[in-house]
Amino acid sequence: MSARRLIPLLAIVASLVLAGSAQAYVYWADFSAGTIGRANLDGTGANDAFIHVGGTPIAVAVDANHIYWANQSQGTIGRANLEGTEVEPSFISGLHEPSGVALTSSYIFWSSIKDSRIGRANLDGSAKNTALIATGASPCGVAVDSGSVYWSNLISLEAYVGRANLDGTFAKPQFARAEGAAAICGVAVNSASVFWANTGFFNANGITIGSASVVDGTSPRPSLISGADGPCGLAIVGTQLYWANKGNGTIGRANTDGTAVNEDLVTTGGGEICGVAVDSLSSPLSPPPTGSGGSPTPPPPVTVPQPGTVSVVKVKDDSKRGTARVSVRVNEAGTVTVTGKGVVTVKVQSAGAGTVGVTVRATKGKRSALRRTGKLTTKLAASFTPADGGASARTATALTLRLSAKPKSQH
């Protein structure tokens, strides 16, 4: 074949390849059917049985080469090619009820409900670490950005979104409170906000998508999007937010500011879907915000929790009651714990930097000795745990409880 005829032919082949690679989809996990589903971005062509994986898939993620899913009952992370071939149901195994999956260019993260952990492995499945982060609650859903990993707590009287560095350090299980929600399953993040899905477990409010500031977890908007039906799983691409409605088997979509809500973008045909992912080709990333001079506005600095400090500044005896009032100074909000041999352990909350007072009294077993001898000497320990996840601090001091003898009655 001549070069003159070969060049146009190569151009046609290249155009077909590029056209195929530009196709993008929305994916979901069908918990009840044991399948991964897929549809076109406009909601057409829904196929709930795109990949048969078995078990109970509950979350899904996608990158330029593969689809990944968390299979809760099988304790695995599965993987397949984007076209649904070369299915590896146990790409990563030996997990404890995985409930979420998220990707960076180097790592795969997952949340495990049973052992309350965030795990991590290399993107090829090697270097598995099932206990990268202790979440302190049952995490259902995980998301990542360029510097942090986020998770949502499924079972809690006050649900929270947690956050830590990608290497697991500086974990803050209560980074953002999901106001009005007792159970959230699904979390997503962009440069401005962290989002959560209120599933409705334990209450009747499972119809909302909420958000808070990604900088410090403040400025909550618990009902940014209303009208969902048991939202379970979130994904963000560009300026659009997607969620899976496990109540009616649909995929919803809206702008990340809560406008242009479409609760029925995709009718999946699934029985109980939980988890959603979207190809990154679905829309261009939003340009970075610019300052008044037109130059890009730098991202907000990452806030590193400061270590706590604690000191005992005053001890005042109450010999009539056999107690002592101990004043403890701390540098921020958190929990103060005072304990010692023979005294009752006491915990108090500090609302911020300042001094908190703690009443120390003898235990029931040492109370009789205090009455008999009139004093009880111990080494008192005061510890402080900051609320923002910073390092704890501890100090100690000698303490003597005194009890004056009651005057004998005159006859």
pLDDT at 193: 95
Q: Which amino acid is at 344?
A: V
Q: What is the DSSP letter of 391?
A: P
Q: How many residues does the chain have?
A: 411
- Asked whether 274 and 31 are in contact (CB, 8 A), the reply is yes
pLDDT at 157: 66
pLDDT at 155: 60
Cα–Cα distance, 376 to 390 (Å, whole number) = 34
Cα–Cα distance, 258 to 299 (Å, whole number) = 22
* Residue 354 backbone phi and psi in degrees, to 5: 150, -160
pLDDT at 206: 64
Q: Which amino acid is at 154?
A: L
- What mean pLDDT do residues 322-332 have? 88
Cα–Cα distance, 268 to 218 (Å, whole number) = 35
pLDDT at 46: 96
53-82 in b/e burial notation, b at 16+ Cβ within 10 A? bebbbbbbbbbeebbbbbbbebbbbbbbeb
- What mean pLDDT do residues 263-273 have? 91
What confidence category does residue 319 fall into, taking pLDDT thresholds of 50, 70 and 90? confident
Q: Which amino acid is at 309?
A: T
Q: Which amino acid is at 380?
A: L
pLDDT at 250: 95
Token pair in block for residue 314: 């005053």
Token pair in block for residue 378: 């111990």
State yes or no: pLDDT of 120 exceeds 70: yes
Cα–Cα distance, 166 to 120 (Å, whole number) = 9
State yes or no: pLDDT of 406 exceeds 50: yes
Q: Which amino acid is at 229?
A: D
pLDDT at 3: 41
The alpha carbon of 258 is separated from its chain's Cα centroid by a whole number of angstroms, namely: 21
- What mean pLDDT do residues 334-343 have? 90
More confident residue, 351 or 98: 98
Token pair in block for residue 292: 């008044």
- What mean pLDDT do residues 120-138 have? 93
Cα–Cα distance, 220 to 212 (Å, whole number) = 4
Cα–Cα distance, 269 to 280 (Å, whole number) = 24
- Measured CA angle at 318 (ends 317, 322), to 5 deg: 105
What are the pLDDT digits (tens) for 152-184? 986 656 789 999 999 999 999 999 998 878 788
Q: Please name each of the domains of the chain with its CATH number.
A: 23-282 (2.120.10.30), 310-402 (2.60.40.1940)
- What mean pLDDT do residues 4-27 have? 49
pLDDT at 15: 36
pLDDT at 260: 94
Residues 6+ apart with CB under 8 A from 157: 182
- What mean pLDDT do residues 294-300 have? 45
State yes or no: pLDDT of 205 exceeds 60: no
- What mean pLDDT do residues 393-403 have? 87
Q: What is the mean pLDDT of the chain?
A: 84
pLDDT at 280: 63
- Asked whether 190 and 144 are in contact (CB, 8 A), the reply is no
pLDDT at 409: 47
Spatial CA neighbour of 358 closest among 399, 391, 403, 306: 399
- What mean pLDDT do residues 327-345 have? 89
Q: What is the dihedral of CA 70, 73, 74, 75, to 10 degrees?
A: 60
pLDDT at 82: 93
What are the pLDDT digits (tens) for 191-203? 999 999 988 754 4
- Asked whether 48 and 36 are in contact (CB, 8 A), the reply is no
Instruction: Give percent of the chain with pLDDT exceeding 70.
Output: 84
